[in-house]
Amino acid sequence: MKKIKLTIIILCILFVSDVASASSVNLTVEKSNIKTGELSTINVQLDTKLNSINTVEGDLVYDKNFLKVEKINIGNSFISFWVEKPNFVNEGRIHFSGIVPGGITIAQGDVFSVIFRGVNEGKTGITLENINLFLNDGEGTKDTVTVNNSSLNITQNTTQVEEQIIANDKTKPEKFTTERTRNIYIYDNKWYLVYSAQDKGTGIDYYEVCEFSRQNCIKSESPHLLKYQTPFYRVIVRAVDADGNARESILLSKWLILVIVLLIVGLMFCVLYIYRRYLRKYRV
């Protein structure tokens, strides 16, 4: 009997110890009580419990009958590279997957946030599903994880006036560089672009790549296969955040610069030659 009790105690200790060391993904709510038409921000946060995590993925699930997504912000996220930015898999589910090269140990790190609008009266839950964390141990070990969900209580708004989102972000994304490169394993050794910008406000919404002219732009993601495989190139990569602020990175071929310089020098010699001919012809 004593052995059984001792075994139970040991198992309980091991269980508590394991739970205490498990990383957790938590939902924090700005306002847990709102009216229909009002807004509330839900933050998805990670506590690694001293573990080093390099991959975070999962789903944020909500009831579309009670809530409507107005905006998804990734500006304050610690995620360095998004495999899949938080996006709608379907209405009612937001999928996300991101990587932190080298891993991160953090107590209350923002993964992303969502601004919800109350649609109908009632109490509704917001839950995390399919959460996977992977340790930065070189082996891709899956970490144990606990989740803490949340809920919102929505009451009737008698004024019928909807709360408006105030765009406070007026700052452009941070300066970034663009690299033109190629690899025998990517795009059949054709030239492509690699770029990544950061925005600490609302986060990068999309990129545009313009080859030679700003009138020739397309939305794209890194890596981007170049349309013109030539040593003479002028490429503009434009990073645009969720509030429309944009930052550009311009990449100019050294050969194109050389041609431009030679054309300018040639034009100067032509002008000088014509001027000297003019002086000789009309010399008094």
> Do 178 and 203 touch, CB atoms closer than 8 A?
no
Better pLDDT: 255 or 229? 229
Q: How sure is the predictor about 13, in pLDDT bands with cuts at 50, 70 and 90?
A: very low
Residue 273 has pLDDT above 80, yes or no: yes
Q: How sure is the predictor about 247, in pLDDT bands with cuts at 50, 70 and 90?
A: very high
| pLDDT in the model for residue 145 | 92
Residue ranges of the domains in the chain?
2-155, 178-252
Better pLDDT: 51 or 9? 51
> Torsion-angle region of residue 79: left (phi > 0), alpha (psi -120 to 50) or beta?
beta
Query: Is 178-252 a domain of CATH 1.25.40?
Result: no
Q: How sure is the predictor about 191, in pLDDT bands with cuts at 50, 70 and 90?
A: very high
| pLDDT above 70 coverage of the chain, percent | 90
CB pairs under 8 A, 24+ apart, for 160-169?
Answer: 160/37, 161/37, 162/37, 162/38, 162/117, 163/37, 163/38, 163/39, 163/117, 165/39, 165/70, 165/71, 165/115, 167/243, 168/201, 169/75, 169/201, 169/202, 169/241, 169/242, 169/243, 169/245
pLDDT, average across residues 41-61:
93
CA distance 55 to 81: 10
| pLDDT above 90 coverage of the chain, percent | 49
pLDDT, average across residues 262-266:
88
| pLDDT in the model for residue 62 | 96
| pLDDT in the model for residue 8 | 44
SS3 96: strand
pLDDT in tens, 194-209: 998 888 777 888 899 9
pLDDT in tens, 206-227: 899 999 888 889 998 889 999 9
> Do 132 and 99 touch, CB atoms closer than 8 A?
no
| pLDDT in the model for residue 14 | 37
Better pLDDT: 164 or 18? 164
Q: What is the CATH number of domain 2-155?
A: 2.60.40.680
Q: How sure is the predictor about 1, in pLDDT bands with cuts at 50, 70 and 90?
A: low
pLDDT, average across residues 117-144:
92
pLDDT mean across residues, the chain: 86
Q: Are the folds of 2-155 and 178-252 the same?
A: yes
pLDDT in tens, 71-87: 888 888 888 888 888 98
